[in-house]
Amino acid sequence: MVTRNSYDVIIVGAGPAGMCAALYTGRSMLRTVVLERGTPGGELLNTEKLDDWIGEKSILGWELARKFEEHAREFGAEFVTANVSRVTRLDDGTFEAVTDTGEVYSAPAVILTAGGTPVKLGIPGELAFAGRGVSYCAICDGAFFREQVIAVVGGGDAAVEEADFLTRYASKVYVIHRREAFRASRILQERLFANPKIEVIWNAVAEEITGDSTGLMNAIRLRDVVTEDVRMLDATGCFVFIGFRPNTGVIDGHFDHDEMGYIRTDATMQTSIPGLFAAGDLRSQLTRQVTTAVGDATTAAIAVEKYLKARTEGGVVVPQGMGGYAV
């Protein structure tokens, strides 16, 4: 039997954006449910420590996640553990969020804050040695590689930051980057270059991950993109940080997006689907940080309140630039 649950707003995803949005919709006295397939926190749970959260010189990722959740609950947000498989806008303008167990949540507005999924290398051996040497989460798996030689693939903020983090466990960390310069921020690069345990392999791509007779990873085959030379790098771990793909597959219907699949929104965080708002890492924007995620979420939550008020008063809602609505 299908269970239907009615709310004013549904928030899909309980990362920083989702929990901040829930805080603001709760403060607006909107009946709010946050649907999250795992523990609330999102990428905060994969981050050991933050030093760029304003007001905190240093705070643990899980600690900040707990504070976010507690604050949102304080204002009445309901958290439900559920994996959303589909979000559909019905003919009357309301939405249905259907979980993989068949449960249905309905509301006139949805804020999508589902984040992204790590991009895979797509090379032989990657899936075979996933969890047996290949990882996409340094804080989750770093402790399993004490005094081992490991590699990090990537050149952005995540790759550079996590490589530095992994040196507290590994005896040696190689950073493999396909170009001759990092895209990471300057302060992160300075930390990496100052770390004696780290060696950068420039202009190289990983082509295969191999293992031993025990089923564990033992090496990476590398190709130099300039000389085309191939060599084997002995390593028992490979941490992949080459980007994220936005988790937009739950949206039933066409929506405006950029060439990478990230959702385009207007200034109110509303998508091209009326009543569907997006915030955080799955939105098309310059940078993806905790601070930008909660900024998006604040705007989205306040815009939802205005949207619902206009919808109640006039039925037809037309977005008017910076957060106003005409009916």
Q: Is 251 helix (H, G, I), strand (E, B) or coil?
A: strand
Active site residue 20: no
Which residue, chain included where needed, has tokens 């130099």?
Answer: 224
Active site residue 141: yes
- The DSSP secondary structure of 193-250, one letter per residue, reads HT-TTEEEE-SEEEEEEEE-TTS-EEEEEEEETTT--EEEEE-SEEEE-S-EEE--TT
Q: Among residues 8, 52, 100, 137, which one is catalytic? A: 137
3-state DSSP helix/strand/coil % of the chain, to nearest 5? 25, 30, 45
Q: Among residues 100, 140, 229, 258, which one is catalytic? A: 140
Closest of 208, 66, 34 to residue 125, by C-alpha: 208
Contact of 155 with 183, CB cutoff 8 Å = yes
Return the structure tokens found at 91. Answer: 């003919």
> β-pairing, 49-50 with 59-60?
antiparallel
Contact of 10 with 95, CB cutoff 8 Å = yes
Q: Among residues 8, 51, 100, 141, which one is catalytic? A: 141
Using DSSP, how many helices (H) and how many strands (E) does the chain show? 6, 24
Active site residue 238: no
Contact of 236 with 141, CB cutoff 8 Å = no
Residues identified as active-site: 137, 140-141
